[in-house]
Structure 1
C-alpha cells in the first residue's frame, strides 16, 4: 500500500459514523505497551501503559459525568504535561465532550477569552493554575487532583460515546499573531491527517524514542505530541516543565531520544551554548516558524542529522514538509519547507500558499466557530482554494518556500520583500543567534517602508556599528541591494507568542 492509499484507508476508517475517539486513541492498542513516558522536572520518569490509561480514564469519565459533563460540551483544561492531563482528556473524549486547550503560561485574560468563547461551564485545572481561573465568572472550577482521588474508587464507565468521524473532538484557538484568537473546531477524522504526518513526515517508528517538545496547549503539541502518537499507538515522551536548553539536551541524552520535533526557537537556543556530547538523533524536525538554513547545517554537524522544516497551521495541521519517511524523502533545498504531504495538494494563489480543496481529501477545516465572515476570508470566491495568508513560492519540482505572513510583507521602493529571505541571510552570520526583520515607515518619506533587523547575538559577540555594517553588507552581497536593513538593532530577545512565534507587529511599532 503506497502513501496515498494508506492515508485514504485511515480516512475511511476514522470518518466512519461509528468512529469512537476512545477506541481509536487508546482501547485498540495492546494493554501492556507504553503509551506515555512521563518525565518530571528532576528527570525522574514513569511509564503509563495503554491499559493503565484506559482504566484510569474510564474511572475519570464516571467522575466527570457526575459533574455534568456530557456529549458536545466544551471543557477547557489548564494542566501541565502530567499524567492527569492525558487521563482527563481521554475521559472527556469517552463522554463525547470537546476539549478546549489552555496553555499554562496564559494569564487570566487568555483563559477567559477561550472559556467564554467556547461557552464552557466547567474548567479543569490544579492548584498551581487555579488563580488564573477563579476570577472568571459563571464557570465551575474542578481541581484535577481531587478528581484523580475520586476516580481511584469510582466505577469505570461502561461504554464510551462514539461521536463519529465528523463529531468535534477539540476546539482550539489560533495563536492571535494577526488579530483576536479564533475558535477552530477539530473533528475526529482529523486523526487521519495527524497520523499521516507522524508516519510519513516525522517517520516515527515503533523502535523510536519520540519526543515532540511542543506544549499541548497549542496546535503542534496537541496534534503531534498527544493525538498523533495516540492514534498510531506510538509512545510519546512528555516533560512536565517549561523549556530550557539545558533540560532539553539532558532529556534527549538521558532517555535516548532518537526522533525529535520542536520549534526553531528551541534549536537556536540549543545551538547557543549547550553541551551536545553524546547526542545523535535519527530524525529531527521543525515547525511553527520558518527554519533558516544555518540550523540545517548545524544539525548535521551537532545532532547527527538534518533538521527538516515542515509547514502547517492551527486550521490545517501540517500539510507541507521535508518528509523523513524513505518512501517520500527528497534532498533538502535551502530555504524550502518541502512538498505537500500525502492527502494534500497545494499551489500559489495571488501570491499566497493555498491548499487545493477538492484535491486534498485529508483537509478537515470547516470554518471558525461563530465567525462566518472570517471563514469566508479563508477561501477563494469559488471555494476551490483555502488561502493560508502566508506568501510563498513553488518551483518546477514542487518545492514550496515560505516568504512571510501576508501582513508581514515589506513594501520598500516598489519592491515586495519577504522578511524570511533577509532573515535567512542574516542568520548565516556566525554572530547571529536569532533575527527578525520588519518594515518600518521610511523617515524620509521616499521608500514607503525601510527594512530594519532586530538581532540577538550569540555569546561572545558585541553589537556595535562595525558589526551592524557587516550584517548590512552581507544582505547586499548575498541577497539583494534593495533589501538590506537600513538599521540593525541589537536586542537581548525577540517578542514571541507563548508558542514561540515571533511577534513582528510589536517590532514594527514606533519606538520598538
Structure 2
C-alpha cells in the first residue's frame, strides 16, 4: 500500500480487500445478510400527482427475506450459478430484491436503463446471453419481439412468486473473482462493450463511498444517479449495501422541484449526482439555502460556474470525481478528513487509495502492478478491444481519456482521446473552451468539436443551447467568440457557433460529440 497516506487508510484497504476478495466470498452475505436486519438499507420515495412524497423504508431483514424467496423462484425458472438475468426497472425495492436474489444463486445481474429502446435492450441481453428479464409494467412492452426471453413483472406476479416460494436454504459462495454484474459501457465513443464486475469490486466501491464521498453512518445520503448505469449501480446500490449505508431510491422522474423538496423533507446531508443534475437545479430559484455537508459530481467534468454557485445554494462546494465503467471512481477531490485538500477548479483531484495513477502517452493511466483495488480484467468476449486498453508490456491500463498531472499530483481532465482537437499543431481539449462559453448568461448548454480544415488541420466549432428568451444570432456568435479569446486563448475560439435546441446525449447524460462532428 502507499507509504504517504495515513496508516488507518492502509488498514481499511487491507481489511476490505481481504473480505471481498476471499476465495469463499459470498455476495449475498456481504451485501445484506451480515448487516443488522432491523437497520434501514434504502428509503423508497414515490411522488403522487400533487407532488406529495410517500416514503417506505426497506430494512436489511426485509431485503434478505424477500431475496431468499425470489432466489428459489428464479432457481425454479432454471437460473443457476453463472447464468445472466436482465433487470429493467426504475429505482424501486424490487430492483434491489432482484439483484440480491440473483447474487444468492451465483448468477449475474445485467442492468438495463429504463430510457433504453428495444434495440439497446436486445443488444445487451443478446451480448450477455440472458434468457430471463425482471421488469415492470411501464417497460414490459419493450421486450416484445425479443426471442427467447422470459419475463417476471413487478407487481402481482413478482409478489406472488415471493409469497409462494420457500426461502432458499443457502446462498452460493462463488468467491471474489466470480462475476456479480455484467454492465455495458455507454457507447459514447463506439459500440457498448460488456464489462464483467466481480465480487471483489465491492472493496473499491466501499473505498470510494468512504474516501471519495465521505458517507458516514449518520448521513442522510442520496446518490441520485440511475442504477442502469455504473455510477448509480456501483455507488447507489452495491456500495451502500456493502458498506451498510442507507441510500434513497427516488421512484419518479427528475425535477428540480422534487429534488428541492426531497433534500428539505429528508434532511439530506450527502448528495451525489451527475453534472447535468447540478446544471438543471442551478436554474431553479427554489434550490437555495440548503445545508449539505457533502456534494459530489461524476460523469462529465464540472464547469467552474457550478462550483461557485453551489457554495451559497447548497451550503458546500461540489467536488468533481473521475472514473470509468471499467473501474469505478479512482481519481477524486476526496471529501474524507484524512484525504481532503483544497479544491482547485478544473481538477479531478488525486488518485484514490488503492490505485496508482499517472499520465502515459498523454492518457490518464492506471498502474496495474500497484493498484490492488483495480478489478477490471477485460471486456466480455472482446480480447482485441481489451488489448487496446493496455501498453505493450501490460503494465498500464490506458483510459482513452487525455489529461495532465501537476507538480502536486493533481489530475486535470482534457478530453476523451478522440475528442482532442489539433489545430495548427495545438492540442485543444473541448472542455477548456466549453468551460468559458458556459459562463455567458445566454448559454444553457454547450459542446465543442473539431471540424476538418484544409489550412489548419482542424478548427473549432461550438454547438450552443441558449436560454428560452435569447435568440442566437451573429451578434451573440461574435460575443461568444470574443469570450473564448479573452477567457481562454486567442487561437482556440470557435470559428462557427451553431445555435441548437438540444445536444445529442447518451441516456446517462454524456454528450455524443461524434454525432455533432457528423453534422
Normalising by structure 1, we get a TM-score of 0.97
Deviation of 1:478 after TM superposition, in Å, equals 2.0
Question: Is contact 1:412-1:447 (8 Å) kept?
Answer: yes
Whether 1:476 and 2:485 are equivalent positions in the alignment is yes
Question: Is contact 2:288-2:314 (8 Å) kept?
Answer: no
Whether 1:330 and 2:337 are equivalent positions in the alignment is no
Describe how 1:197-276 pairs up with structure 2 within 5 A. 197-276=208-287
Describe how 1:79-478 pairs up with structure 2 within 5 A. 79-145=89-155, 146-442=157-453, 445-458=454-467, 460-478=469-487
Whether 1:14 and 2:20 are equivalent positions in the alignment is yes
Deviation of 1:122 after TM superposition, in Å, equals 1.2
Unaligned 5+ residue runs, structure 1? none
Q: Matches of 2:470 and 2:266 in 1, distance apart?
A: 34
**Could you say what secondary structure the match of 2:407 adopts?**
coil
**Could you say what secondary structure the match of 1:407 adopts?**
helix
Q: Deviations over 1:346-384 (max 9, x none)?
A: 111111000111111000000000000000000000011
Whether 1:46 and 2:56 are equivalent positions in the alignment is yes
Deviation of 1:4 after TM superposition, in Å, equals 2.6
Q: Matches of 2:480 and 2:256 in 1, distance apart?
A: 27
Question: Is contact 1:202-1:325 (8 Å) kept?
Answer: yes
**Could you say what secondary structure the match of 1:36 adopts?**
strand
Q: Matches of 1:461 and 1:497 in 2, distance apart?
A: 26
Deviation of 1:152 after TM superposition, in Å, equals 1.8
Normalising by structure 2, we get a TM-score of 0.96
Q: Deviations over 1:31-82 (max 9, x none)?
A: 1110000011322110011111111111111111111111110111111111
Whether 1:495 and 2:497 are equivalent positions in the alignment is no
Q: Matches of 1:369 and 1:277 in 2, distance apart?
A: 45
Question: Is contact 1:84-1:148 (8 Å) kept?
Answer: no
Question: Is contact 1:495-1:503 (8 Å) kept?
Answer: yes
Q: Matches of 1:250 and 1:502 in 2, distance apart?
A: 29
**Could you say what secondary structure the match of 1:52 adopts?**
helix
Deviation of 1:137 after TM superposition, in Å, equals 0.8
Question: Is contact 1:245-1:274 (8 Å) kept?
Answer: no
Deviation of 1:507 after TM superposition, in Å, equals 1.1
Deviation of 1:454 after TM superposition, in Å, equals 1.4
Question: Is contact 2:404-2:414 (8 Å) kept?
Answer: yes
**Could you say what secondary structure the match of 1:355 adopts?**
strand
Unaligned 5+ residue runs, structure 2? 1-6
Q: Deviations over 1:11-43 (max 9, x none)?
A: 111100111111110111111110000011322
Q: Matches of 2:144 and 2:469 in 1, distance apart?
A: 45
Deviation of 1:466 after TM superposition, in Å, equals 2.3
Answer with 272-281 or 16-25: which moved more: 272-281
What's the Cα RMSD here? 1.2
Deviation of 1:241 after TM superposition, in Å, equals 2.1
Q: Matches of 2:483 and 2:270 in 1, distance apart?
A: 35
- 2:4 matched residue in structure 1: none
Answer with 130-139 or 224-233: which moved more: 130-139
Q: Matches of 2:465 and 2:258 in 1, distance apart?
A: 22
Q: Matches of 1:468 and 1:382 in 2, distance apart?
A: 48
**Could you say what secondary structure the match of 2:463 adopts?**
strand
Q: Matches of 1:446 and 1:388 in 2, distance apart?
A: 31
Question: Is contact 2:419-2:449 (8 Å) kept?
Answer: yes
Q: Matches of 1:431 and 1:124 in 2, distance apart?
A: 44
Q: Deviations over 1:68-106 (max 9, x none)?
A: 111110111111111111111101101111000100110
Q: Deviations over 1:419-465 (max 9, x none)?
A: 011111222233322211111123xx212221111122345444332
